[in-house]
């Protein structure tokens, strides 16, 4: 991961600050993470050897509440990446008006190369190393890339062992039997779907006349594809890390999800199974998918997928960022100049942290909601904040990304200012 990822992420604020009501003190405090932790995690492998993995946790800001953010397992995880993700999470929680700050964690590892026992030792070892850095009122963990409910369950259990008390609220995205919330698994995609449904009518774009390409067919992308297909959108292309498939007439998303769940790459589905006989298709790369002439493009994989190198190939009319940071700041400028609407990650993919908040509330109250209650609360929050950001964008004639940052900065500024600013101490009086 490039060491410039955080610097690029920080550029998002420069334009937004021109429109936000925020003090110089607040701006200065948001330039730096509150705390960063790097740890070494020794793991005894199945063959008896000892391997040491590098882990990280960054709490960027906790002015509005305890840190909140996922834990990522990936070979490219670095402190720079984790800090950038924690930075984005800070603004995401402010956009959705959640009582959380931003945090993130990760381990530099290829989880596919580990056995389940090795994965459990690694996950528990990570919590051993960061236990003093996290807590239900300090910093709450959640799943991210290549982590899931089982891993979150191990982490919650390990923290509970260390504290000698059951502590379900330290982790969200857990199994239901350990205090997890219904609706959390598909929350990122469900929230993004609500955002799309709120936005597209503004452009008189009917689902049946809207083509969609989705890069990334993991926890978010696969659910996103099925929700859109079920609502009548024509999902014509999807891809995973090995490549993608494209069918002009539309794809059979439920069949692809089922095949992918069996541990197969989606590029094999249409060339080795009976679906081949149902629809014409072609195999394409992730880069080819990004360049398709579709109405909606959804990057749902990793950061920096649309850059200066390929931005001129983009033909989609609307881009909804389900991944974190899939578009670089320089590419953003080109897309805006081309008249392509970009709906930013800190709004679009905020469904995950929103339902994580719901889970945290349920854990602390001991009262648990139905899937209908969870989805209704999520829909209300996503639509409400999408409409507010759209209004800011229209009123100030700025992009949706800048509008989202303005919205978040105003809320963060209010919280930071409440602790006192230069103007208060120089000119203020206690009433």
How does DSSP classify residue 306? B
Whether residue 104 lies in the annotated active site: yes
Question: In which order are the strands placed within the sheet that holds 139-143?
Answer: 35-44, 50-61, 101-108, 67-74, 139-143
Contacts of 52 (CB under 8 A, 6+ apart): 40, 41, 42, 43
Bridge partners, residue 92, by sequence: none
Chain-centre distance of CA 251, in angstroms? 25
In angstroms, rounded to a whole number, what is the distance separating the alpha carbons of residues 298 and 340? Answer: 13
Chain-centre distance of CA 34, in angstroms? 21
Please give the C-alpha separations between residue 412 and each of 20, 165, 294, 325, 335, in angstroms, as whole numbers. Answer: 10, 33, 36, 20, 28
Tokens for 141, please give them: 């963990």
255 neighbors 274 (Cβ within 8 angstroms): no
User: Considering 68, 92, 104, 174, which one is annotated as catalytic?
Assistant: 104
In angstroms, rounded to a whole number, what is the distance separating the alpha carbons of residues 231 and 189? Answer: 13
- 351-365 and 79-95 helices, crossing angle to 10°: 80
Active site residues: 104
């Amino acid at each position: 991961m490039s060491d410039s990822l955080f610097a690029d992420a920080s550029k998002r604020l420069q334009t937004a600050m021109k429109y936000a009501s925020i003090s110089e003190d607040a701006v200065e405090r948001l330039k730096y993470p509150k705390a960063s932790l790097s740890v070494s995690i020794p793991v005894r492998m199945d063959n008896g050897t000892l391997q040491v993995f590098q882990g990280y946790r960054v709490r960027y800001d906790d002015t509005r509440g305890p840190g909140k953010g996922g834990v990522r397992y990936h070979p490219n995880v670095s402190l720079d990446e984790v800090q950038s993700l924690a930075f984005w999470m800070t603004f995401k929680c402010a956009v959705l008006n959640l009582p959380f700050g931003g945090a993130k964690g990760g381990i530099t590892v290829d989880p596919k190369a580990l056995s389940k026992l090795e994965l459990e030792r690694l996950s528990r070892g990570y919590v051993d190393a960061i236990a003093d850095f996290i807590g239900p009122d300090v910093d709450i963990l959640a799943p991210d890339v290549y982590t899931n409910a089982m891993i979150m369950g191990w982490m919650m259990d390990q923290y509970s062992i260390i504290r000698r008390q059951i502590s379900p609220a330290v982790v969200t995205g857990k199994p239901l039997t350990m205090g997890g919330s219904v609706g959390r698994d598909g929350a990122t995609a469900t929230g993004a779907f609500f955002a799309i449904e709120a936005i597209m009518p503004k452009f008189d774009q009917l689902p049946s006349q809207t083509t969609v390409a989705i890069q990334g067919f993991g926890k978010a992308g696969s659910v996103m594809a099925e929700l859109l297909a079920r609502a009548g959108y024509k999902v014509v292309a999807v891809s995973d890390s090995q490549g993608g498939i494209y069918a002009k007439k539309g794809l059979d998303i439920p069949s692809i999800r089922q095949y992918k769940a069996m541990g197969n790459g989606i590029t094999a589905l249409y060339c080795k199974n009976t679906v081949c006989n149902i629809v014409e298709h072609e195999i394409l790369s992730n880069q080819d998918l990004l360049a398709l002439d579709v109405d909606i493009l959804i990057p749902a994989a990793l950061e920096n997928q649309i850059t200066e190198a390929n931005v001129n190939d983009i033909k989609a009319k609307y881009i909804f960022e389900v991944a974190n940071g899939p578009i670089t700041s320089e590419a953003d400028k080109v897309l805006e100049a081309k008249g392509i609407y970009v709906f930013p990650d800190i709004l679009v993919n905020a469904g995950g942290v929103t339902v994580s908040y719901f889970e945290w509330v349920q854990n602390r109250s001991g009262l648990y909601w139905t899937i209908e209650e969870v989805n209704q609360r999520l829909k209300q929050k996503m639509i409400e904040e999408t409409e507010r950001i759209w209004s800011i964008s229209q009123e100030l004639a700025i992009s949706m990304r800048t509008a989202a940052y303005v919205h978040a900065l105003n809320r963060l500024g209010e919280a930071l200012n409440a602790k006192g600013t230069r103007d208060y101490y120089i000119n203020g009086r206690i009433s």
